[in-house]
Amino acid sequence: MTKNAKTDWMSIIQLVFSLLVLLSFLGAAVLLAAAGNALSAVPELAGMNQGSLTLLVCAFAALALLNLPSVVSSIGSLAGGGQRSRSEKKSGLLGWLPLALFGAVLAGIAFLPQSMPRRELLAALLATLGAVLPAIWLLRVGSGALWGKHAKRDAGLLSFSIGFTTYFILVLELVLILVLGAGLAFAAAASPSLLSNLGELWRLLQSSGADPEALRTSLMEFARSPLVLALIFGMVALALPALEEGFKTLGVWLLSDHKISPAEGYVAGLFSGAGFALVEALLNSAQLAGGSPAEWLTFLLGRFGGTLLHTFNGGVMGWALANSWQDKRRGRTPGVFLLVLLVHALWNGAALANVFLSGQGESGLIGYLPMILLSAVLLVCFLLFSRRVHRSGLGEPENGPTLNVA
């Protein structure tokens, strides 16, 4: 007698979800490309910034392609191939190839001729690669011997983060901003002076137009109030990071019943955090359309630090969750959460300090020094912690073999 094969519902769900995300981003890229061609033919819109549209097209196309591994691995699993385990190998020199390519991308942007035909498209492609390659390198090095061992699961976590988690967090952040805005409106109604200041800010924002320096000056004038500064720093350096770190590893929670090891939890968290970081980096790149090579280099290096922050924090949270599920020590996860929240708050606080320093005439590396130092510390901690996790001998869970889950 033969037993009927069970339906692999997890692979089916993963295939449908990742395929929908892929088609959504690919459709958005095609529609934007078509809209850009149509708008450029309108004489009244001939002066519009086509660079932003080109960057968004490349960003959406990259986000679509990042879901392709999840689609392919799900189809392979449903076709009977299962999830093949690769032999454990260290990253070696090949694992550092994405970082070398990232350096080549920076050099390409720095020396890209201004008179080159289709320069905007080439710059957009380089910028897209500059946003994606650091994440690939972090995932490759951080995964260590587990790279490719659970390819379907890792690809599914990346797709879930790109297609759901990031936008779920964005909705929560918008709700928080609306609630705080409503509270500020009530406070303004009770305080005529505050209402007058808000009206002045609105007029300044309208008069600043698209000039970022004028807008920054307007905000700096309004931010002279200690109350406003406290509100800005509280929102950007505490409330928003708490939401991001609290929900960024939702994909890891889906594995809570599958007895994953701490090392597997770490890798799952890395992929969850990388998905969030990739969406943030790629979509933010459109804001720098038409920027100088120096501005692009600053942006991509800054995004490298942001991608490192989100990816590593996600990995540490995944490691803590998997540890807690194994040894039932529930206090570890809140403690690690407070740690990653502190790191994220320091990063956002350093970024805000850079904005205010540049607004007061500071230039050069002074404004970026806190972020550079924090990035260096994070990078060293990432390399050391990844090595420690994969040398701990917990590549497989103690209670049995790993289940093949998405």
User: In a structure prediction context, what are the per-residue pLDDT tens digits for the chain, which is 406 residues long?
Assistant: 445 557 788 899 999 999 999 999 999 999 988 887 666 554 544 444 567 888 999 999 999 999 999 999 999 998 876 555 554 555 566 788 999 999 999 999 999 887 778 888 888 899 999 999 999 999 999 999 999 999 999 999 999 999 999 999 999 999 988 887 777 677 666 666 655 655 655 554 454 444 445 555 555 655 566 666 677 778 888 899 999 999 999 999 999 888 899 999 999 999 999 999 999 999 988 777 767 888 889 899 999 999 999 999 999 999 999 999 988 887 889 999 999 999 999 999 888 777 666 655 455 567 788 889 999 999 999 999 999 998 885 444 444 433 333 3
Is residue 313 a part of any domain in this protein?
yes
Is residue 374 a part of any domain in this protein?
yes
In contact, 304 and 269? CB cutoff 8 Å: no
Is residue 27 a part of any domain in this protein?
yes
Is residue 84 a part of any domain in this protein?
no
Is residue 291 a part of any domain in this protein?
yes
Q: Give the C-alpha separation, 280 to 288, whole Å.
A: 14
Is residue 235 a part of any domain in this protein?
yes
In contact, 69 and 22? CB cutoff 8 Å: no
Residue 381 tokens read as 């901690």
Q: For residue 280, give its domain range.
A: 9-79+95-391
Is residue 2 a part of any domain in this protein?
no
User: What pLDDT, on a 0 to 100 scale, did the predictor assign at position 259?
Assistant: 85
Q: Give the C-alpha separation, 381 to 318, whole Å.
A: 16
Handedness of CA 230, 281, 359, 200 (dihedral sign): negative
In contact, 162 and 250? CB cutoff 8 Å: no
**298 Cβ neighbours under 8 A, 6+ residues apart:** 368
Give the Cβ contact number of residue 280 at 10 Å: 18
User: What are the strands, taking DSSP E only, across 201-340?
Assistant: none
User: What pLDDT, on a 0 to 100 scale, did the predictor assign at position 364?
Assistant: 54
Closest by alpha carbon to 25, among 74, 61, 71, 66? 61
pTM of the model: 0.85
Is residue 255 a part of any domain in this protein?
yes
**6 Cβ neighbours under 8 A, 6+ residues apart:** none
Tens-place pLDDT, residues 375-402 = 999 999 999 999 999 888 544 444 443 3
In contact, 268 and 251? CB cutoff 8 Å: yes
Handedness of CA 53, 58, 59, 61 (dihedral sign): positive
Q: For the chain, how many residues are written?
A: 406
User: What pLDDT, on a 0 to 100 scale, did the predictor assign at position 129?
Assistant: 95
State the total domains in the chain.
1
